[in-house]
């Protein structure tokens, strides 16, 4: 990546996250409070540092950005008001848009994708439809038979507690929902 592309990527991340990366002085408080940092390939402060140094592509390929649970502890505790959680969101978005998401984290990416697809179709999440898409695409990506059945044992219990709703809801003005998605995600006017 040349210098111009690097600075463009940094500007894009900063504009999506509405925060200033140069403000981070690497105290590590974000990582200290992060409930997932022990499992991450790069910790939150390391992710910020990689981007500060222009290694955006490496940050976009990490597992860490998809391991983040969006608990916002990093953002809440940053002494320099760097919105670390928003930077991770921005990294996820750019990683997704550029097809650079970690293969290890395919399940998380496909879940988010299936969730939005269901909202785009119905205006609300249809749990059964979302899970079906997630399972089919996840199986296609990972080729692991067990993936199809993970969590399946909960279905009869959900049914017993009257928590399984086969028919999802649809909003009336679904055309507007589709226009909103098109304007935000497909760059349509």
Partner 1 sequence: MNLGYYPGCSLHGSSDDYQQSLKACFSALGVSLKELDDWICCGATAAHSLNHKLSIALPARNLGLAAQQGCNELLAPCSMCSLQLKKAQKAIAGDPALAAEMSRIVEAKPDGARVLNLVEAFERVGLETIKTAVKTPLADFKVACYYGCLLTRPPKVAEFDDCEQPESMDKVVEALGAKAVAWNYKTECCGAGMTMASEETVLELSHKILADAAAHGAQSIAVACPMCHVNLDMKQAAIEARYGTKYGMTIYYLCDLVGLALGLTPQALGINRHFAGRKA
Q: Which two tokens stand for residue 173?
A: 């003005």
Q: Between residues 3 and 153, which has the closer beta carbon with respect to partner 1?
A: 153
Torsion sign, CA atoms 164, 167, 170, 172: negative
Region near partner 1 per CB under 8 A, out of 3-11, 19-27, 51-59, 172-180: 172-180
119 is an interface residue for partner 1 by CB under 8 A: yes
13 is an interface residue for partner 1 by CB under 8 A: no
Region near partner 1 per CB under 8 A, out of 20-28, 44-52, 53-61, 103-111: 103-111
65 in Cβ contact with 47 (< 8 Å)? yes
User: SS3 for 16-52, per residue?
Assistant: HHCCCHHHCCCCCHHHHHCCCHHHCCCCHHHHHHHHH
- The burial class, CB within 10 Å (0-12 / 13-18 / 19+), for 112 is middle
**Residues that bind partner 1 in the complex, under the rule CB under 8 A:** 16, 18, 35-36, 39, 67, 69-73, 75-76, 83, 85, 89-90, 92-93, 96, 107-108, 110-113, 115-116, 119, 123-125, 127, 131, 134, 150-151, 154, 157-158, 161-165, 168-169, 171-173, 176-177, 179-181, 183-185
């Amino acid at each position: 990546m040349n210098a111009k592309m690097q600075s463009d990527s940094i500007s894009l991340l900063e504009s999506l996250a509405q925060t200033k990366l140069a403000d981070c002085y690497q105290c590590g408080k974000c990582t200290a409070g992060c409930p997932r940092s022990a499992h991450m390939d790069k910790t939150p402060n390391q992710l910020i540092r990689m981007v500060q140094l222009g290694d955006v592509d490496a940050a976009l390929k990490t597992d860490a950005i998809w391991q983040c649970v969006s608990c916002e502890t990093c953002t809440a505790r940053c002494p320099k008001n760097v919105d670390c959680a928003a930077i991770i969101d921005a990294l996820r978005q750019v990683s997704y848009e550029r097809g650079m998401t970690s293969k290890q984290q395919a399940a998380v990416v496909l879940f988010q994708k299936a969730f939005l697809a269901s909202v785009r179709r119905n205006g609300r999440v249809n749990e059964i439809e979302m899970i079906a898409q997630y399972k089919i695409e996840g199986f296609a990506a990972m080729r692991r038979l067990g993936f199809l059945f993970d969590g399946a044992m909960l279905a009869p219990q959900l049914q017993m507690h009257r928590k399984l709703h086969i028919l999802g809801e649809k909003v009336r003005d679904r055309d507007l929902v589709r226009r909103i998605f098109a304007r935000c995600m497909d760059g349509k006017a």
